[in-house]
Amino acid sequence: MSRQLPAQPNLEVLRKQARQLLNEHAADHSEAVARVRAVSADLPSAAAKSSTLRQAQQVLAREYGFANWQALLNHVEGDAGFSAHGDFYSRLASDLVDAQRGGHLQSFGQLGRQFADRRANLPASPGGVDGGDEAEIAIEHARQTIAENNGFDSWQGMARAANECHRTNLLTKEQLAGLERLHVEFARSVGARFAAVTGDPSIEGKISFLDLTTYGWILRSLSSPSCSFVGSMDGFEGDILCDIGPNLATGLVAADIADREQQLSRLAEDIYRDLTQAWQPVAALQATRIVPHTDPFSMHIVPICEICVLVAIEMTASADGAGLPGLLSLCFPVPAIAAAVDAQWSAPDRHT
């Protein structure tokens, strides 16, 4: 039996088709038995030896003309728009599953709690599962949790949004170069501020790198707990994120200081003031609200598939790079800064 994929295949539909085949085969429905028999001789022995969800998935993949289930998944996910950053999203889902098995879901904060609740409340697949099937179901639950955590109804819905972001929310080389020049002075200002805080005049800041990436990549790279601050800025079309790396935060305010959180919050306010000064040639900004966060996955300023500009500022305190190590990171979602950036530098066609 051969099948033709629709123009916009849906992974959830395919998974349901595999489960339906499994259940019908278990119930000895003649058509299901014939479908499995038709391709079983050509399946790997591990997939053909028993009636499992994995076998049903393999049968369905062969009917659609693919060598195996993973090849079918890769094809559909690519069409859905995860080809550019699919490794990250898939790895995040796998990491959630591994974290639950290892008993350290707390490292994922809110996202980990939502995944634990889903695993506790959703039943396993009907018809019984083996170890491989249970792993597949756990990944499905993780993917759905990630999607819902970011305001999407499904993994495929998030994939389509990711595709749109990757297609339209880009910046030109000229714009990225302009943003880098803009933050050279900001890095110096923050370095001078940190020198005043610590009493070490040798401290200086410089740009370590500037890059385009996804918000999810940025969140996953933060420490947990983090020392992060979400700032609402008049002059931008959305919030931005500032993260003080753990080594840097400890170097600025010792961990045993009684009012450490208050001191770091005041320091964040100063950082945002320096940022408004750095951006003055491009846009008149004002920080209206700065909120501290220790859980990276609770900072829903944009979906994790959104394209962002990441600016990393390295702090050093001597010629050999020792002293006050660590990074100060700024995350600018492209939709938040696009109007200001386009007005200053030549704008790309965001709809091609």
Q: What does the pLDDT read at residue 170?
A: 77
Strand order in the sheet with 327-333: 204-214, 307-316, 327-333, 240-244, 228-234, 286-293
**What is this structure's pTM?**
0.71
**Cβ density class 72-109: b for 16+ within 10 Å, e for less:** bbbbbbebbbbebbbebbbebbeebbebbeeeebebbb
Q: What does the pLDDT read at residue 37?
A: 80
Picking from 302, 111, 114, the residue whose alpha carbon sits closest to that of residue 214 is: 302
Question: Cβ–Cβ contacts within 10 Å for residue 326, how many?
Answer: 19
The CA-based dihedral angle spanning residues 73, 77, 79, 82, taken in that order and rounded to the nearest 10 degrees: -160
Domain locations in the chain? 11-75, 81-168, 173-344
pLDDT digits (tens, 9 = 90+) for 120-134: 886 654 444 445 567
Question: Mean pLDDT throughout 30-53?
Answer: 66
pLDDT band (50, 70, 90) for residue 8? low
Q: What does the pLDDT read at residue 7?
A: 65
pLDDT digits (tens, 9 = 90+) for 250-288: 989 988 889 999 999 999 999 999 999 999 999 999 999
Give the integer Cα–Cα distance in Å for 207 and 187: 6
Q: What is the mean pLDDT of the chain?
A: 83
Question: Mean pLDDT throughout 91-111?
Answer: 90
- How close are the terminal C-alpha atoms of the chain, in Å? 40
CATH of domain 173-344: 3.40.1550.10
How far CA 80 is from CA of 85, 155, 216, 241, 289, in Å, comes to 12, 9, 18, 28, 36
Q: What does the pLDDT read at residue 183?
A: 95
Give the CA diameter of the chain: 81
Q: What are the tokens at 255?
A: 């961990």
Is 237's pLDDT higher than 90?
A: yes
